[in-house]
Structure 1
Amino acid sequence: MGHAERSHALLGPSGAHRWMECPPSARLEEQFPDSTSEAAREGTLAHELAEIKVRHYFYTPDFGKRKYTTRLNKLKKEDLWQDEMERHTDEYLDYIKGTALNLKSAPYVAIEQKLDLTAWIPEGFGTADCVMVYGDTIHVFDFKYGKGVQVDAEQNPQMMIYALGAYAAYKILYPVKKICMTIIQPRIDHISEWSCTLDELLAFGEVVKEKAALAIEGKGDYHPGEKACRFCRAKAQCRARSDFNVKKAFGIGELPPLISTEEAGKRLIELRDVVKYQKDLQEWCLSECLAGKEVPGWKAVEGRSVRDWTDMDAAFDKLISTGVTLEEMLYEKKPLTLAQVEKMIGKKDFQEAVGEFIEKKAGKPTLVEESDKREAITNKVTAAQVFKEEN
């Protein structure tokens, strides 16, 4: 079965960050169709490529070169295929290979394994990208092809639920004591690793059991927030989210003449979902207007029109025939960007060939939350800088 045809549990591991934080959202989402996007379909294709690479490496006798090549050629015919998928999935495979080769003997490796989660989640199941078991340690690997949001392994509920399922599957055969979880996100050069003890994992499992019991019944409290609402199908119409954001936007109260940096920081955090919610609400209201429904105070209109050629080559030929004598007047010669050149010839060859001609300029200062892993910058002058200037 291909990745796109997989069945999904109501309380699936990939949505755990949502239904554990906001239990009733799971049942609320059932009223809305489970739509997909081009980015999601692209990710599915990359996952299928990653799967056959790992399977070919660890189970060559059963999945040899002929089977691998046949599957690969089939994937390359897909509309969303991109050659860069080869490089990114190689990085995923290399990490798993490296983990296995650092062990004293060959580990057990399960690829795209369906895991039984019913000990913690009613009717629960999930499919882990790769599970490796060796001695007293379970390794869980997750390949993420997205590049919009960085995902970390530390305390990641999806990864920990996969680990619970892996533990249930192998606890009879292996004396499990430690769990290692890794997220490989190659398109943003991000690899996140985190480990915990079996006791810590099982303690988390008790929390999962409690939250899942509420979610399956559609009970518990709503807890709207940027992370919980991001991929929720009910996010545009959810009353709890609407009230939450309206309260933020209009319930601030009387403002003093000036605010402190402490107040500013707190309000930035409180208001971060307001703009996103407004966008979600606008998209839903637009779809309602286009469907012929009335949204008081609003209507759908045609946006700004954009002109385009129906046949650019024919148009340029006619321009040249009517007096435009130089093609240079019609075409602009423009070099590829650094990133485009690197993508074309590959990172390694690019660095070896022209690395000496590249400088990495400091990025423009931007405000982020304190949890961001980048080092803070300041305009304060340090003592070392002062002495350097004097010298």
Structure 2
Amino acid sequence: MGNSHADLSASGSHRWLNCLPSAMLEKCFEKKESTAAAEGTAAHALCEHKLRKALHIRSKRPVSEFDSDEMEEHSDSYVEFVLEQLELAKQDCKDPIVIIEQQLDFSRYVPQGFGTVDCIIIADKKLHIIDFKYGMGVLVDSVENPQMKLYALGALEIYDSLYDFKEVSMSIFQPRRENVSTWTISVEELTDWAEKELKPKAQIAIKGEGEYQPGEWCTFCRAAIKCRARAEENLKLAQLEFKLPPLLSDSEIEEVLEKLPDLTKWANEIMAYAMDAAINHGKLWNGFKVVEGRSVRKYKDEEAVAETAKANGYKDIYCQSLITLTEMQKLMGKKKFEEVLGDLIYKPPGKPTLVPITDKRAAINVSDVKNEFNEIMED
């Protein structure tokens, strides 16, 4: 996990390498830990503990409010993955070493650059960096991943003098997206990138200079909500004058589709920011007011309602329904669930959805799926 105190952090490198001034601009905005980030921290701690145990290193099990069957399962599969990689390393090296939660320093290329990597496997000729991602919102790819490259550079700083590394493998293990990807690069190529691209860009970024460059990396930028460059990029779409879809050309629709996720996210962020300012800080926005939203009636006391209804002669006041599939699986345990109910479970086709070409899922034959999906809806 990237360290939160570094101005040019490894975890934010995808952002500041694309939009150079963003790192210094972000410093002006308060860093809030989201629930997803807190859950990710808890999952990392559990992974670290289980991996230590698997390697016969003393460790105390962490306890967290996020503990769940799902986290148990995913942390187990992470340990399994690391052990598999260790076995692979043993094919070419008789005594590979596993390093867990290693502090790294890559300040040779990035001013004050440091961070912590989840796991490193050291073999004679090869260095393997493994990073566990518990998030499910964004699919993380290991190919040309700058965060992983920074970790690899930090690891080389420590171990390169002791070993004759020829290449570095970088693995992302993201179980909640069923995403495991490994990418390998030669040490020569990596250090070449570090000298020619990383180092010069980091020098500009640390001064807060360079051009603002909006893109998908705005997603986790703390400054994104007030970033003028991003606003201008999104408002460019208004030049299409909100024409109705049939009046737009195919290329205009494609342009809108590409920018739609960020446009929607940006609009929601502006609304959330304005609402928070109005409701919690008394901000008055011209042309807007705070009103009471729609609400739903609720029972004050369910037991009292049941007793009173029965006392008045109404007996048929409860409905019975089957517990959900997930709850049933938890109740029986995964293996028993498959044994007992496996034949009674089916998975209908998912609703067809339009996604960018970069999405890893295979394209489907639309007419086949449409017919199948419509039949299920009709049933």
Q: Same fold (TM over 0.5)?
A: yes
Does the residue aligned with 1:325 lie in a helix, a strand or coil? Answer: coil
Residue 236 of structure 1 corresponds to 225
Does the residue aligned with 2:275 lie in a helix, a strand or coil? Answer: helix
The one-letter amino acid paired with 1:221 is: E
Aligned residue among 318, 339, 348 for 1:361: 348
C-alpha distance in structure 2 between counterparts of 1:15 and 1:285, whole Å: 26
Aligned residue among 137, 157, 163 for 2:152: 163
C-alpha distance in structure 1 between counterparts of 2:22 and 2:147, whole Å: 17
Deviation, 1:259, is 4.2
Deviation, 1:333, is 1.7
The 5-angstrom pairing of residues 229-268 of structure 1 reads: 229-248=218-237, 250-252=238-240, 258-268=247-257
1:154 and 2:143 correspond: yes
Residue 82 of structure 1 corresponds to 68
- Please give the TM-score of this superposition, normalised by the length of structure 1: 0.85
C-alpha distance in structure 1 between counterparts of 2:103 and 2:150, whole Å: 12
The one-letter amino acid paired with 2:358 is: S
Residue 388 of structure 1 corresponds to none
- Please give the TM-score of this superposition, normalised by the length of structure 2: 0.88
Residue 57 of structure 1 corresponds to 54
C-alpha distance in structure 2 between counterparts of 1:307 and 1:39, whole Å: 31
1:375 and 2:365 correspond: no
Q: Percent identity?
A: 41
Residue 290 of structure 2 corresponds to 300
Give CA deviations for 1:304-328 in whole Å, capped at 9, x if unaligned. Answer: 22333343233223322332224xx
Residue 42 of structure 1 corresponds to 39
The one-letter amino acid paired with 1:11 is: L
Flag structure 1 segments of 5+ consecutive residues without an equivalent.
Answer: 382-391
The 5-angstrom pairing of residues 86-235 of structure 1 reads: 86-102=72-88, 103-104=90-91, 105-206=94-195, 207-225=197-215, 227-235=216-224
Deviation, 1:26, is 0.8
Give CA deviations for 1:221-240 in whole Å, capped at 9, x if unaligned. Answer: 11112x21111111111111
Distance 1:83 1:373, change over 3 A: closer
Superposed CA RMSD in Å reads 2.4
**Contact persistence 1:286–1:299 (CA under 8 A):** no
Deviation, 1:186, is 1.6
C-alpha distance in structure 2 between counterparts of 1:191 and 1:316, whole Å: 52
Equivalent residue pairs, number: 362
Deviation, 1:335, is 1.6
Give CA deviations for 1:113-132 in whole Å, capped at 9, x if unaligned. Answer: 11001011100101001111
Deviation, 1:262, is 3.8
C-alpha distance in structure 2 between counterparts of 1:343 and 1:151, whole Å: 29
The one-letter amino acid paired with 1:288 is: A
Residue 318 of structure 1 corresponds to 308
Aligned residue among 267, 274, 288 for 2:277: 288
Flag structure 2 segments of 5+ consecutive residues without an equivalent.
Answer: 369-379
C-alpha distance in structure 1 between counterparts of 2:339 and 2:36, whole Å: 32
Give CA deviations for 1:4-47 in whole Å, capped at 9, x if unaligned. Answer: 9x652111111111111111111111111100122211111111
Deviation, 1:254, is 10
Give CA deviations for 1:242-296 in whole Å, capped at 9, x if unaligned. Answer: 1111122x12379797444344223311343211111111111112212122322
Q: Which moved more, 1:294-303 or 1:213-222?
A: 294-303
Deviation, 1:352, is 4.2
The one-letter amino acid paired with 1:223 is: Q
Residue 384 of structure 1 corresponds to none
Does the residue aligned with 2:224 lie in a helix, a strand or coil? Answer: coil
Residue 372 of structure 2 corresponds to none
Does the residue aligned with 1:273 lie in a helix, a strand or coil? Answer: helix
